[in-house]
Structures are given as C-alpha cells and as structure tokens.
Amino acid sequence: MVLLQISEPGQSPEPHQRRRAVGIDLGTTNSLVATVRSGTPETLLDSEGQHLLPSVVHYSATGEVTVGRRAYDRSADDPLNTLVSVKRFMGRGIEDIKTLGSQLPYDMVASDSGMPNFKTVAGEISPVAASTEILKVLVERAELALDGRLEGAVVTVPAYFDEAQRQATKDAATLAGVKVLRLLSEPTAAAVAYGLDQGGEGVIAVYDLGGGTFDISILRLSHGVFEVLSTGGDSALGGDDFDRALAQWFGQQAGLGDDLNPSVQRQLLMTARSAKESLSTQPQVAVSVAGWTGELKREQLDSLIDPMIDKTLRACRRCLRDAGLKPEDVANVVMVGGSTRTLRVREKVTEAFGREPLVDIDPDRVVAIGAALQADVLVGNKPGDEMLLLDVIPLSLGIETMGGLMEKIIHRNTTIPVAKAQDFTTFKDGQVAMAVHVLQGERELVSDSRSLARFELRGIPPMVAGAAKIRVGFRVDADGLLNVSAKELISGVEAHVEVKPSYGLNDEEVTRMLKESYTHAKGDMQARALREQQVDADRMYVDLQAALEQDGRALLNNEEYHCLEMALVDLERVRNSENHREIARHIEVVSKTSEEFAARRMNASIQKALTGHSLDEIERGM
C-alpha cells in the first residue's frame, strides 16, 4: 500500500518545491534583482551577462519604451525624452523639484495627483510610470531565470523615504505585475546580507551612498535579531550631486555660461561620471568635453566633493547621538551604494568611525542580496524564526491639539510594525465633532510639522467639556504606511483614514525637521509651555465665564461677583503675553479666587438633585 501525498492549505504538495521570490533594489542610478538558489543569494544577469540595469527610460514618438543601457545611450542626443534618476522625483510635488537644482534637463508639469510629470513625445509620464517600466524589465529577467511567474518580491527603499514616497514605490511595483511582500529600507537590507553571511553580533553602521540618496542606519545584531536603533540621512544627496559638481567645474574650464542646452548638460554629466569612476583606480584622468581638453586629478575631485561627504558625516554623528552611541561603540561599518567606491568617501568614513569599512560584498549588489534573503523568508521557503527583522519609522507621528501643538503618538525610531493609541477629550461644552489633523515631524508646534491628513469624527454625544473620551489610534504596517482611527468610547462612533499622503512632499523639509529639532529644542519646549498655559487660560476663562452667567448672580454677592470679573479681565490680558510663568501664576490666582464659587455651585447642584426624594429612595439608589 502506498501513501497519497496531500498538503496543508496554502502549501505546495511537493515539499521540495521552492516558491519563486526575489529582492529588487530599485536604485536611482542602477537597479537589480536577486534571488536565493540552493541556499545562496545571487543577483540575476540579463542576456548580456550584466547585473546592473541603468535606471533610465527612453520614450519615442512611435510609442516604443526603452529601458537600461540602450536608453542611457540616448540621454545625450535626446535628453527631454530620456528619464534618468526618476527615483528622486517619487512622491514629490512640482514645487519640490526646484530643490534638485537648475541643471535638470526636463520639461515638467504638475499632474492631478500633485506629482510632477515629464513632458515627452509619448505624452506626460509620471515618475511612478517610469519606475514601473524599470521594474517590468527586472521582473521579466527574474521570471526567465526562475522559469515561472514570481510569487512575491521585497522591494527596497531609502530608509528616509516617507509615506508618500513608499506608497509611490509600492504603486510602481504593483503596476509592474509583482506582489510586494514588503518594502524594506536599503540599509536594513544590507545588514541582512552581512549579518546572515558572516554572522557575529554587535553594533554596525550602514553607510549607504547611492546615486541620489544617502542613508545612515545604526543597527544592533544579536542572536539573529536585526534591530534598527536609529536612522538618518538626506534623500536628496548622492553620487549624482558629485557628478553635477564636477560637470559644473568642467563647464567653467570650458568657459561655458549657466544657460546650457539640455544636450550639453547631459554631455557634461556623462563625462563627469566617467571621470569620477576612473579616478577610483587611477590618480588622474584625461578629459575632453564641450571643446575643453584637460586633466583631472584625484585631488581636484576631492576638493569638489568634500563638502557633500562632510554633510553625510554630520548625519552620521546625529544618528549615533540618537542611538546613544559613540563611534568607538560601532563594531563594523558597512558600505552600500556605488558612490562608496569613490576613494575619498572611504577615506573620510574610515577617519570618522576609526575603522576600515566592510566592502566584502559588492556595494552595488548588497542591498538586492539582503532583500532576496528577506523575500525567501516571507514567501515561505525558510522558517520565519530563522531571522527576525525589526525596522523603525524615521519621523515621529502625531496629531494637532489645542493651541497648535503637535502631540506625538508614535515617536521617531519606534520599531515597526507598531500600533499605539492615546485618549483625548473635548474642549467645549456640547462639542459633537472633532477634527483630527495627522502630523509628522520632530518639532513641538504644528506650524513646524508636516501635515499628512485630516478627517473628522462626528456624532459625539453633547457633553460638558472634558467628559467625552476619544481614543486616537495609530497603526504603522511593515511597509511604513500609516492608518489612523478615532473612536468616542461612550457612544462608539468611529472614523478613520488610511494615510496615503498626496504626492508633493519636499524631502528637504523632512530632513530639515530632524535637524531643527536639535537646534531649536530649547525654544520649542518654551513655545510649547507657553501654548499649553494659553490653552489652560482659555479653558478656565470659558468655563468661569459660563458659570458666572448661569449662577453668578444667584450664588454671589456684588463684591464677590465683581472680584471674579476682575480676575477674568486680568487673565485675558495676561493670556497674550509671552511669559508662560506669568500666565500660570494668574491661572492659579483665578483658581483660588473661584474655589468658594465652585463649592457653592456643587452644593446647589446636589440639593437640586435631592429635592423631592426621601432618604430611603436615596439609600436604595446608592
């Protein structure tokens, strides 16, 4: 007798059949795809034996779309229809692209979604659509290599990508026809690759300098657990900026002005990139561009890019402070991104951390390899308990409270996925609705924070101020996407919003929020204390004014009534001062002055409630 093979629901009837899953590094300059075969992660080759796919898309008037090296070759003679570094535009608004510099050779217009569209001969193209074309090529490469359709992919994003940029990336992958198992931050993916391949425990710093973004993450590795202690970086700084600085220098040497046509701009950039890469192995290189012929030495390149490298190192120091660590506490520094091949970058990182960085795994491929390892777990090819990965949110999340204050509910660097809730109440008597303004940032005031979404909770039963109990819940999923809900606990009325922020985020503003949270910490706390005292003063004024109108003449003599009126006048006058201690002192004065009035009101209320009831009835009610 033989056994009939069956399987658990959702499991393969062939126990040794592996599910097809990949890790995709959607990069600014280059993209690639990796998978795990025979227990070993590897990046997949194209038909020409290349791992890297240039993140370039060309559109023709006939509707033909070209991706990769062939598209890159068109960037000099047809720059307006050749989209390069589109990742830098993901989740941005038309106004934000001005921060990327004046040398962008594109004609861009605002779309209905708020994201900028590229004007091409094929029509208006969004950054999401262009990224979709890149992802389609990677997915096709993977399906050919694995001989079948993919069952899922882990797609990486910079750790500093906010909700809008993450959602745009997820949309592009979905449009490319692949199921997104998870969005994973690029530095964390690199930690997965090094942690699993080489083992070991301790604190590591992941220095990720790609073509368009810089990220620094401090992680602790312990018994197979990857915990991100802190993250930082600059989502508008990368090797592309090195190229621009060098291209500008070439233009100056050639005697060119600032008003260059797109074709010349692209020639300068391509020459700059080639020269930069050559200087990683040579002390000097001959250059001929735009009618100028000369020699570029490594020292000249270093002087041009040092300010940008120093900017990354300042972010590293802030990140270490966040984690409560010093450079000597870091066991290893992992280098990620093609721009870390620049020798000056490695020299300055070695100097900053006091140790040679790890470059054992190709810095261009390490992120994709880590993503592939994670995808292998998530798709079910490996027991999930073999690797536990904890990621964090980059900026605090909260809501607006009275006085224009930002009340943080989930703090920066909290491990995700996470769910947290906090209780709030109403400010005015009879309030039946509550506006919920969702914010992101590190400052204390709404004016210094970034607005994510707004929604209203309606149907709150009318009660006296402070009686209602509204629970606001925040939930961030593994992809860093946010859901917010508000529920009034007595009536059960509820409202919620799925925060898919409108495209149009200024990443420099996000970076600025973090920087200014340090430089303005003292002033912010003083401003918060002032606003809180002003809110307390407003509440006391409204409550006491209403009480006087209702019961003042019945329970107070003329002198007492006038005394309380004068106390309110003084409180209203002081309320607009800039001295929170003075406001607090007047609040205390009004509170003590009104104590007797409050006691009389309470006694009158009790007597009214007891009128007409016998002692037996009262005792039975108790």
The active-site residue, picked from 87, 170, 276, 500, is: 87
* CA pair distance 316, 622, nearest whole angstrom: 64
Q: Are 438 and 397 in contact (CB under 8 A)?
A: yes
* CA pair distance 210, 240, nearest whole angstrom: 8
Q: Has residue 483 been placed in a domain?
A: yes
Last residue of a domain, one of 375, 391, 407: 391
For residue range 408-461, what is the model confidence (pLDDT) as tens digits?
888 877 777 778 888 888 877 788 888 888 888 887 788 778 788 888 888 888
448: tokens are 């210094």
Residue 314, number of CB atoms within 10 A of its CB: 13
The active-site residue, picked from 46, 151, 162, 208, is: 208
Looking up residue 543, the CATH number of its domain turns out to be 1.20.1270.10
Q: Has residue 259 been placed in a domain?
A: no
Query: Token pair 């506490």 is at which residue?
Result: 329
In the predicted model, is pLDDT for residue 162 greater than 90? no
For residue range 538-567, what is the model confidence (pLDDT) as tens digits?
777 777 777 777 777 777 788 777 787 777
Percentage of the chain beyond pLDDT 70 is 82
Q: Has residue 258 been placed in a domain?
A: no
Threshold 0.75, pTM exceeds? no
Q: Has residue 119 been placed in a domain?
A: yes
Report residue 321: phi and psi, to 5°: -60, -40
For residue range 316-369, what is the model confidence (pLDDT) as tens digits?
999 999 888 999 999 989 999 889 989 999 999 999 999 999 888 899 999 999
Same domain assignment for residues 501 and 533: no
114: tokens are 């708020």
> Per mean pLDDT, which range of 4-13, 179-188, 274-283 is the poorest?
4-13
Residue 538 falls in the annotated catalytic set: no
Same domain assignment for residues 192 and 129: yes
Same domain assignment for residues 46 and 103: yes
| Beta bridge partners of residue 218, listed in sequence order | 205, 230
Same domain assignment for residues 498 and 562: no
Residue 78 falls in the annotated catalytic set: no
For residue range 140-158, what is the model confidence (pLDDT) as tens digits?
999 999 999 999 999 998 8
Same domain assignment for residues 448 and 549: no
Q: Has residue 268 been placed in a domain?
A: no
* CA pair distance 507, 552, nearest whole angstrom: 55
Residue 186 falls in the annotated catalytic set: yes
Pick from 595, 550, 549, 542: nearest CA to 571: 542
Residue 208 falls in the annotated catalytic set: yes
Query: Token pair 């994709």 is at which residue?
Result: 368
Count of domains forming the chain? 3
In the predicted model, is pLDDT for residue 32 greater than 80? yes
Last residue of a domain, one of 350, 369, 391: 391
Same domain assignment for residues 474 and 527: no
Domain region containing 427: 393-506
Same domain assignment for residues 322 and 471: no
What's residue 98's pLDDT? 58
Looking up residue 85, the CATH number of its domain turns out to be 3.30.420.40
The active-site residue, picked from 171, 186, 241, 524, is: 186
For residue range 194-210, what is the model confidence (pLDDT) as tens digits?
764 455 678 889 998 98
**Model confidence at 9, in pLDDT bands (50, 70, 90)?**
very low
Same domain assignment for residues 157 and 110: yes
DSSP string, 117-161: EEEETTEEE-HHHHHHHHHHHHHHHHHHHHTS--SEEEEEE-TT-
Non-local CB neighbours of 311 within 8 Å, separated by 6+ positions: 234, 237
Q: Has residue 82 been placed in a domain?
A: yes
In the predicted model, is pLDDT for residue 281 greater than 90? no
Same domain assignment for residues 448 and 544: no
Query: Higher pLDDT residue, 144 or 116?
Result: 144
Report residue 97: phi and psi, to 5°: -65, -15
In the predicted model, is pLDDT for residue 489 greater than 80? yes
**Model confidence at 114, in pLDDT bands (50, 70, 90)?**
low
Q: Has residue 406 been placed in a domain?
A: yes
Same domain assignment for residues 230 and 368: yes
Pick from 190, 183, 161: nearest CA to 87: 161
In the predicted model, is pLDDT for residue 527 greater than 70? no
**Mean pLDDT value of segment 76-101:** 76
What's residue 517's pLDDT? 57
DSSP string, 411-439: -TT-EESEEEEEEE--SSTT--EEEEEEE
Same domain assignment for residues 369 and 425: no
* CA pair distance 82, 58, nearest whole angstrom: 4
Looking up residue 493, the CATH number of its domain turns out to be 2.60.34.10
Give long-range contacts, CB 8 A cutoff, 24+ apart: 3-12: 11/380
What's residue 17's pLDDT? 64
In the predicted model, is pLDDT for residue 95 greater than 80? no
* CA pair distance 13, 3, nearest whole angstrom: 13
What is the residue-averaged pLDDT of the chain?
80
Same domain assignment for residues 370 and 403: no
For residue range 232-245, what is the model confidence (pLDDT) as tens digits?
888 778 888 999 99
> Per mean pLDDT, which range of 173-182, 450-459, 501-510 is the poorest?
501-510
Last residue of a domain, one of 373, 391, 409: 391
Q: Has residue 5 been placed in a domain?
A: no
Query: Higher pLDDT residue, 567 or 376?
Result: 376
